């Protein structure tokens, strides 16, 4: 699994331009599983429009795009659930 440092580097790179498909998916999987990076990504302001620009950037493969879109939806749902959960738990500082 990708390290958090690499994940945040990709988040930063993402602000400058689109990541490769591989980078995008790698980052997304990490963020999906890593609470600290999810918060970090929120701070990057990326959560709101998670995914959409990257779906457009994908190569012409319906199958890939569909699979990717499903992953984005899952990630978005998961993030929403977790952030609501986190909010109800109050402010905890978790730097793992
Ligand atoms: Zn992480």
The pLDDT of residue 23 is 95
The total domain count for the chain is 1
Ligand 1 centre distance from Cα of residue 19 (Å): 18
Tokens linked to 25: 């998916």
- For residue range 33-48, list pLDDT tens digits in order: 999 998 888 877 754 4
User: Residue 77 is part of which domain span?
Assistant: 23-43+63-85
Alpha carbon 64 to its chain centroid, in Å, reads 17
Ligand 1 centre distance from Cα of residue 7 (Å): 6
- For residue range 57-95, list pLDDT tens digits in order: 555 566 666 777 777 787 788 777 776 766 766 655 556
Does residue 10 form part of some domain?
no
Ligand 1 centre distance from Cα of residue 29 (Å): 10
Question: In 3-state terms, what secondary structure has residue 26?
Answer: helix
**Residues, the chain:** 96
Does residue 49 form part of some domain?
no
Does residue 67 form part of some domain?
yes
pTM: 0.45
Ligand 1 centre distance from Cα of residue 67 (Å): 23
Q: How confident is the model at residue 2 (pLDDT cuts 50, 70, 90)?
A: low
Does residue 80 form part of some domain?
yes
């Amino acid at each position: 699994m990708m390290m958090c440092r690499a994940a945040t580097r990709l988040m930063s790179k993402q602000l400058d331009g689109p990541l490769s498909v591989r980078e995008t998916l790698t980052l997304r999987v990490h963020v999906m599983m890593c609470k600290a990076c999810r918060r970090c990504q929120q701070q990057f302001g990326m959560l709101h429009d998670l995914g959409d620009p990257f779906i457009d950037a994908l190569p012409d493969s319906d199958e890939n795009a569909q699979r990717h879109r499903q992953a984005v939806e899952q990630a978005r749902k998961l993030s929403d659930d977790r952030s609501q959960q986190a909010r109800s738990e109050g402010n905890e500082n978790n730097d793992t």
